Chain A
Amino acid sequence: MTKKKPAWQKPGVVFQPRLAQAWQQGIDQIVNAIAPTLGPLPRLTLYDPSVSKGKLPEVLDSGGTIARRIIQIKGRDRDVGAMLLRHMLWQMQEEVGDGTATAAVLFQAVYREGVRYLTSGGNAMRLRGYLEEGLRIILAELATMRRHLEGKESLAKLAYSICYDEPLAKMMGEIFDIIGAYGRLELRSANGREIEREYVEGMYWDSTLLSRTMINNPQQQRAELENLAVVATDLEIEDPQDMVPLLTLCIKADIEKLLIIARKLADPVLALFALNREKGRLKLEMVGAKTPGTSVDDQRMALTDIAVLTGGRPLFQAAGDTMRHIRPEHLGRARRAWVNRHFVSIVGGRGDPRALRQHIAALRALFARSTDARERATLQERIGKLMGGSATLYLPGMTQLEQEFNKEVAQRTVNAMRGAMRDGVVPGGGVALLACRERLRAYFADASEPEARAAGHMLCDALEAPLRTLLHNAGFEPGAILADIQAAGPGYGFDVRAGRLVNMAEAGIFDAATVLETAVHSAISTAALALTTDVMVHRRDAGDAMMTGKP
């Protein structure tokens, strides 16, 4: 006897209006879970992972993370609508790290009004076209409001508008004022009550000493060199004879300290050095560090960066280089270097500063062009390393739950801060979106097509939605405050913490421009696309297909 399949696993075709109604219900469920987190006075969501044994509950305040935790909702038709929104929010969180609650309420407003209009007989494809036209106008208007922030106070205010945590925001302001948009920042959990930070000078890469006999600073368990030459390669140096050209080069150039960054220095090579130094035949002090990176690509990038920094030229196995081909131009120079069990660090690389700047500019251009999150993260890290230092932020927490929550908030703030510093900020608290309505109204004022007028109205209303939600979350009546903001004029908004109208720029209330633009873009374009969907086909689930042996 075969077991009866649950309804949601059955194949089927869904038509309008059932599709739109179901999607709307699914979307509302997700948005209702996320919307309370919008604004400086949010409410939190507790995630209960009771199905995974031994896992602790999670306290969530990020729309993107909440959406990620909702993996399915009841009702197969509703679930598809919810997952459409979930996918959009997830992708947005990966891209810019914040703004998902704003995107969710915008999406909901556009979709809800769109469905209402289409139910009354509108044309979905024409409506989508006008929504996308309106989107272009909003993005252009937001671009005119962009400005760049400088100074730790301004940056701390920006950080506060992201994390709503005063001590964290203050620390973020100081750190980003120092490390800049691309600087290297490591987040670490720590037991305790106080948030702390540490700055480290120089550039360092993941690596390790190739022999513990090289340690010359036993206290810190590391090998240190001053005024040194640097050889950077991904070769494995097995034969002592391979080292002869390098040694000859060092003797000729009067080099006394040498850092070899290589995949391997075989024991006979190390023994040769040790013996010659013991007998006083060789003045050269050599330290070996493992080539940073695990993949060939990672190694190539790290070696290229080290070479630019030190003014040398790397030797690559893939290019047919060998140690026997080494020439003076392969040697880089640096003021100081150290290697321990975990890192190799170079301070004061003596490469051409112009070449270093060009290299960083090229990496930044690649970063700006790239849309791949992993590639962007790698580029971000490379630029940060080359900028000459790093910071570590120690996040307190008495329990694992608190530590994880603090780390997630900090990571989200870091991502959004980087975007804001790279691409600028716009007035926060929903004011920038409100300010776009004037141009939208002007653009659609003379439209003759009903879809154009509907798109104009829909977008103007939707642009109010984030501010309405923010005010609602803080316990204010949105209607009256919206009227006050309108009357106060451009640049004014409502500071929900102070409970009064303020000039947003003077009060330092900003949103990261990229975050807001991405939220608007994701919400409107995805909602416009969803509105053009008329039929949904549920396929038979994979398990079912396998069971029956049918495709």
Chain B
Amino acid sequence: MSENTQDIVYALQCAQNVCFAARASGLYRSTDGGRSWEFAYASLALTDSLPTTSVVISPDFATDRTVFAGVSGGVLYSLDGGDSWQIVELGMPPSTVSTLVISPDFGRDGVLLAGTMEDGVFRSGNRGYNWAAWNFGLLDLSIFTLAISPDFAADETLFAGVESGIFRSTNGGRAWREITLPVGYEPVLSLALSPAYAQDGTLFAGTESQGVLRSTDRGATWTQAATPDGPVNSLLLAPDFPTRPYILALLEHALLLSQDAGQTWREYPTGLNDMSAVLAPAGLAPGAPLIIGTTRGDVVSLVLPTQ
């Protein structure tokens, strides 16, 4: 991929061996699990680069081939696995989409949410065709990250990590309530909910300067789970968490792995010091593949240690 030093990889997504990398220069697609990449916007015949800050794939990608990409001013969608694209604008002035999340029950509810850098959260309830800002109670409109409950169809719960803390919605993003975070722990750059969130109420928050925080009561109280040196850009939990209590935390210069739900951490050597995005398409089991994006636009494939 590109060697352009400005071509940061913002987000990675994979499904069915098809991977997407959202980069400052646009969206890239791999159909071989990340070994080779192609420009996904080729059909748009763009004359300028189209910085793409987020990407999300439908949970039913195998059948609906639906992909969404967040750009400045709108959301692009593809219904053919990234071959062709349509854009839906979010309104004026243009909002920069910083993050996208999709309902695990997307096939039924068609719900998709876009966090933006200045205009809060936009919500679509019809598969991305129309969007509306839903910011009731959201007192900070700089959204860094959104996390959706695995049991969204039942609990309609979402979390938003913002410049000044965390907000929670329990009605599918239509209204937000502030969560009490210890003073000085904001901004929150990354969030990860336990796959068993409905039962264990566990979530993790990656902060800019105070490491990783853990809550086991749906965000009511927090304890510090790790204090690495640097912003925690991404957090991944094992798909079978808490049975396999593995957590991966991505910092720009380090990849940290905890095998005990955040009690202890160890650094996983990658040889990279400019990491910006991470994806574990097959989970966090020992020996599982990892895809890492860098601030230079590279996408590197690695394997988790076997022990």
Contact = CB atoms under 8 A, between A and B. Distances in A.
A179 interface: yes
A183 B139 CA distance: 13
B135 to A, nearest CB: 5
Contact of B136 (A151, A179, A335, A354): A179
Contact of A354 (B118, B138, B164): B164
B105 interface: no
Nearest to A389: B136
A178 B175 contact: yes
A438 interface: no
A183 B178 CA distance: 14
A357 B178 contact: yes
Contacts of A389: 135-136
Contacts of A360: 139
Interface string B60-84: 0000000000000000000000000
Contacts of B136: 178-180, 183, 199, 387-389
Given A179-B175, A348-B119, A388 B137 contact: yes
Contacts of B174: 177-178
A348 B175 CA distance: 16
Interface in A284-331: none
A335 B119 contact: yes
Contacts of A388: 135-139
Given A180-B177, A348-B119, A201 B92 contact: no
B290 interface: no
A336 interface: yes
Nearest to A349: B141
B120 A348 contact: yes
Contact of A387 (B137, B140, B142, B171): B137
B163 interface: yes
Interface in B139-182: 139-142, 162-164, 170-171, 174-175, 177-178
Given A150-B170, A178-B175, A353-B164, A348 B141 contact: yes
Interface string A384-408: 0011110000000000000000000
Contact of B139 (A178, A179, A357): A357
Nearest to A356: B139
A348 B143 CA distance: 13
B93 interface: yes
B162 to A, nearest CB: 7
B93 A227 contact: yes
B92 A226 contact: yes
A336 B178 CA distance: 23
Interface in A335-386: 335-336, 348, 352-354, 356-357, 360, 386
Interface string A172-192: 000001111001000000000
B235 to A, nearest CB: 23
Contacts of B171: 151-152, 177-178
B285 interface: no
Contacts of B198: none
B15 interface: no
B97 to A, nearest CB: 15
A250 to B, nearest CB: 18
Nearest to A350: B118
A201 B131 CA distance: 13
A234 to B, nearest CB: 26
Interface in A134-176: 150-152
Give chain A's interface secondary structure class. Answer: mixed
A408 to B, nearest CB: 26
Contacts of B138: 388
A207 B134 CA distance: 24
Contacts of A387: 136-137, 139
B175 A151 contact: no
B177 A201 contact: no
A163 B171 CA distance: 23
Interface string A510-521: 000000000000
Interface in A467-486: none
Contacts of B196: none
B133 interface: yes
B164 to A, nearest CB: 4
Nearest to A387: B137
Nearest to B186: A354
Interface string A69-94: 00000000000000000000000000
Nearest to A354: B164
Contact of A201 (B93, B133, B163, B170): B133
Contacts of A357: 139, 164, 178
A227 B137 CA distance: 21
Nearest to A180: B137
Contacts of B140: 353
B201 to A, nearest CB: 14
Interface in A7-54: none
Contacts of A386: 139
Nearest to A201: B133
Interface string A224-241: 001100000000000000
B139 A177 contact: no
Contacts of B134: 201
A395 B75 CA distance: 37
A336 B135 CA distance: 14
Given A151-B170, A335-B119, A226 B137 contact: no
A177 B164 CA distance: 23
Contacts of B141: 335, 348, 353
Contacts of A199: 136
B175 A180 contact: yes
A53 B136 CA distance: 46
Nearest to A182: B137
B162 A201 contact: no
A336 B119 CA distance: 10
A292 B120 CA distance: 26
Contacts of A150: 170
Nearest to A309: B139
Interface string B185-200: 0000000000000000
Contacts of B92: 226, 336
Given A335-B93, A348-B119, A353-B140, A201 B135 contact: yes
30 contacts: A150-B170, A151-B170, A152-B171, A177-B174, A177-B175, A178-B136, A178-B171, A179-B136, A179-B175, A180-B175, A180-B177, A183-B137, A201-B134, A227-B93, A335-B118, A335-B141, A348-B118, A348-B120, A353-B139, A353-B140, A353-B162, A354-B164, A357-B139, A360-B139, A387-B136, A387-B137, A387-B139, A388-B135, A389-B135, A389-B136
A-B pairs with the 10 shortest C-beta distances? A353-B140, A178-B175, A353-B164, A226-B93, A389-B136, A177-B171, A178-B174, A388-B135, A354-B164, A356-B139
Interface of B: 92-93, 118-120, 133-142, 162-164, 170-171, 174-175, 177-178
Given A183-B136, A353-B139, 9 more contacts: A178-B136, A201-B134, A201-B135, A336-B93, A348-B141, A353-B164, A386-B139, A388-B135, A388-B136
